[in-house]
Amino acid sequence: TQDDYRKYVERDPALERRFQPIVVDAPDAITTVEILRGVKGMYEQHHDLEILDEALETAATLADRYIADRQLPDKAIDLIDEAASRVRIKHSTVPKSLREAQKELDAVRREKDEVISAQKYETAAELRDRELKLVTKIEQLDAGWKKENPDAGEAKVTADDIAEVVAMWTRIPVTRLDVEEKERLINMEDALRLNVVGQDEAISVISKAVRRSRAGLKDPKRPIGAFLFLGPTGVGKTHSVKKLAEYLFGEEDAMVRLDMSEFMEKHSVARLVGAPPGYVGFDEGGQLTEAVRRRSYSVILLDEIEKAHPDVFNVLLQVFEDGHLTDSKGRKVDFKNTVIVMTSNLGSSLIQSSGGIGFNFGRQDSETLDYQRVKDRVLEAVKDPQNGFKPEFLNRIDSTVVFHPLERAHILEIVDIMMKEVEGRVLEHGLVMQVTDATRDYLVERGFDPKMGARPLRRLIQDEIEDELSEKLLRNEFGAGDTVELDFIDGAIVVQTPKKKRKSRRAKANSSDSDDKQTVSST
């Protein structure tokens, strides 16, 4: 390789001048297809199957696009080899009855040969008849199996087989969309709205970007999407990204999260791509580049981006425009299959300090927020050359989303979502939890803070519900299968079972009856 030549030959001028360097560049995808056609016959003979031309073209195209750390034609040949192995194994799995019949036939033939060698011709004739019956049985079983599985007898490597191997290597979904996944992508907004309340614009722009990527219409040289989420604290910016990662990968932890408050100093910028040679941490790699190298298809969250050092934005410019970064060891890291989301509170302090905007409900007759005025003020603050972002940075972002300030109706939906989470944790202890409407109304009333978003509600649930539930569980006040009811009585949330609730009502009724009797006797 060129690195080896520079390291071992070029360093010695006397040795170098005795060689004539010939640079062999990696072929492009078209040339790779011709190379694959040349080696196709050997792999067909080795794996005993047919490799279609569409598989060769797909291998060259997908290897060039999605496998970044290796060269053509080597990576395309490996794709063909592994796909052929998978197809051969899949087609070699015959029914158990057919395998047993074949084993019995082999045993009969061996026994027949031994009998003939011993000149026992009568026994050999019986074994021959048995052999013919087994051959007929195997032919019938084989015909029935091939009828049930039309492709079983003809092993062929298709474009879909190549795409499955690429998806397995890179975790990037490059296989053709089936009906179920198409339906899932079309209904992506509805699924995300179940967990993200009041932020339709953010859900819409993310869903459109993912659909463009899966349909194959996005720019192949840029990330799936680069978004800037703006808005005050507690409105669901980070929560939206978590739910996106959960929807795409099945778990919230699948996203790569970097808190940009850790990158406020100039020297800390190197941690993104790795420390340079001679510095501490050179062997560890960069936090951002290593995470993307391990998982090419991922959601990247850059939290509180306004706190980062200005040099961080210079690094991100290359990611947004070219879709790749080079780490400290010279390796090219591909960001073309990532969704990059940056969150920021920039401009929210300006909005909260202005009395006319809908963050101060005491000065408004209604709770309807003037969202357009909120959005305009935030965007003005973002474009401010002194305290905002540079124009070249904003110009490379696909969409800037200003999150809608939460209203009372939104808080009611969030209460239901949070209480479902608590119900799930209570269910793990064998208990069923019921929440009354009075409790929900109390949580909305006490947990609604227009300036702080939904976070006060989470603290309220923790302090008044989870703490009391924890104490009662530790005291063994509930048994397996009990129903736990959360009710709002006399200005406080009460955690009790319906049985105890009925007893307390009877006790109150009895006490009121005794009071009435005492009143009558005194009169």
DSSP string computed for 79-137: HHHHHHHHHHHHHT---HHHHHHHHHHHHHHHHHHHHHHTT-HHHHHHHHHHHHHHHHH
pLDDT for residue 18 is more than 80: yes
For residue 93, which phi and psi values (nearest 5 degrees)?
A: -85, 90
**Interval 478-516: pLDDT, tens:** 877 788 888 888 888 888 876 555 555 555 545 555 555
- pLDDT band for position 295 (cuts 50, 70, 90): confident
Closest CA to 488 of 422, 434, 417, 423: 434
Instruction: Name beta bridge partners: 489.
Output: 492
How far apart are alpha carbons 67 and 64 in whole angstroms? 6
Q: What is the pLDDT at residue 275?
A: 82
Average pLDDT over residues 312-338: 87
Distances (CA, A) of 166 to 28, 76, 175, 300, 342: 18, 10, 9, 22, 29
pLDDT for residue 370 is more than 80: no
How far apart are alpha carbons 112 and 116 in whole angstroms? 6
Could you tell me what percent of the chain has a pLDDT over 90? 13
Average pLDDT over residues 77-94: 88
pLDDT for residue 139 is more than 80: yes
Pairing of strands 483-489, 492-496: antiparallel
Q: End-to-end distance of the chain based on CA atoms, in angstroms?
A: 111
* 486, 465 contact by CB (below 8 A): yes
* 378, 370 contact by CB (below 8 A): no
The tokens describing 337, both together, are 């299959």
Distances (CA, A) of 137 to 107, 204, 421: 15, 60, 59
Asked which of 76-85, 248-257, 298-307, 495-504 is least confident by mean pLDDT, the reply is: 495-504
* 141, 100 contact by CB (below 8 A): no
Break the chain down into helix, strand, coil percent, rounded to 5: 60, 10, 30
Helix (H, G, I), strand (E, B) or coil at 217: coil
Q: What is the pLDDT at residue 514?
A: 53
Q: What is the pLDDT at residue 352?
A: 57
Cβ-based burial of 69 (10 A; exposed 0-12, middle 13-18, buried ≥19): exposed
The tokens describing 418, both together, are 């949070």
Q: What is the pLDDT at residue 76?
A: 95
Distances (CA, A) of 406 to 38, 293, 371: 63, 37, 11
Q: What is the pLDDT at residue 359?
A: 42
pTM metric for this prediction: 0.72
H or E segment to which residue 227 belongs: strand 225-230
For residue 78, which phi and psi values (nearest 5 degrees)?
A: -65, -35
**Interval 264-273: pLDDT, tens:** 888 888 888 8
Q: What is the pLDDT at residue 39?
A: 95
Average pLDDT over residues 41-50: 92
Asked which of 171-180, 229-238, 387-396, 507-516 is least confident by mean pLDDT, the reply is: 507-516
Q: Helical H runs in 386-466?
A: 391-394, 408-427, 437-447, 455-461
Average pLDDT over residues 32-59: 93
Average pLDDT over residues 104-130: 85
The tokens describing 428, both together, are 């793990």
H or E segment to which residue 364 belongs: none
* 452, 234 contact by CB (below 8 A): yes
Average pLDDT over residues 265-287: 83
CA-based torsion, 100, 106, 110, 113: positive or negative: positive
Q: What is the pLDDT at residue 356?
A: 38
Mean residue pLDDT across the chain: 82
How far apart are alpha carbons 114 and 132 in whole angstroms? 18
How far apart are alpha carbons 120 and 103 in whole angstroms? 23
- pLDDT band for position 73 (cuts 50, 70, 90): very high
* 66, 296 contact by CB (below 8 A): yes
Asked which of 359-368, 422-431, 460-469 is least confident by mean pLDDT, the reply is: 359-368
* 479, 492 contact by CB (below 8 A): no
Amino acid type, 504 = S
Q: What is the pLDDT at residue 127?
A: 85
**Interval 408-460: pLDDT, tens:** 778 888 888 888 888 888 888 888 888 888 888 888 888 877 777 788 888 88
pLDDT for residue 473 is more than 60: yes
Could you tell me what percent of the chain has a pLDDT over 70? 88
Instruction: Name beta bridge partners: 341.
Output: 227, 301
Between residues 123 and 53, which one has the greater pLDDT? 53
- Domains identified in the chain and CATH numbers: 2-91 (1.10.8.60), 96-148 (4.10.860), 179-405 (3.40.50.300), 409-510 (1.10.8.60)
CA-based torsion, 53, 56, 60, 61: positive or negative: positive
The tokens describing 6, both together, are 């520079």
How far apart are alpha carbons 295 and 335 in whole angstroms? 10
Task: Give the CA radius of gyration of the chain.
Answer: 34
How far apart are alpha carbons 302 and 289 in whole angstroms? 13
Amino acid type, 240 = S
